[in-house]
Amino acid sequence: MRAADAAGDVNFSEASGALAFPWADDRKLIWEGSLDTSQVIPDPSTNERDMVFRLDFYVGERDTFGIGFSDNVVFRKQYYLRTLIDADPPQLYMMPNESFMQDAKPAGTTVQVPDGWQFDVQGTGFTGTFQVELDRVPEDGAPMPLRR
């Protein structure tokens, strides 16, 4: 990353064009998608509908010497985000492994913010704070925040 201070931290208050990721918009959006939650079946033991997202974080460094074809892995780890979509208010949990299989609801893994939830990803050579926003999009009408 070229837009970093002496400690190696990226200052995300910079203009998007000055960031190491100039393709990110002003809100630093790096992915957007949609899911049809009408197909999510409730768990028969709890009668809760939940979804789990597997996020794969990879930070690499391109070898620019020689012919420049190799990458050095700085950080790589998978995290799982579990959301209870029918809870009031909806809840979001982050797990560093597949512990969501044991009905995990780990406290303090996400922080609710006005537009969604934030969580930290960290390990050797990398620390980052990411945000997830979930909206309900009815078949007729405008999107509404999933949080009530």
Q: Is residue 131 part of a domain?
A: yes
pLDDT, position 33: 77
Q: Is the CB of residue 58 less than 8 Å from the CB of residue 83?
A: no
pTM: 0.68
Q: Domain range holding 10?
A: 1-30
Same domain, 2 and 47: no
Same domain, 107 and 138: yes
Confidence class for position 1, pLDDT limits 50, 70, 90:
very low
102 pLDDT above the threshold of 70 = no
Peptide bond into 89 cis (omega under 30): yes
With tokens 């809870």, the residue in question is: 87
pLDDT, position 146: 58
CA dist 41 and 126 (Å) reads 37
Same domain, 19 and 47: no
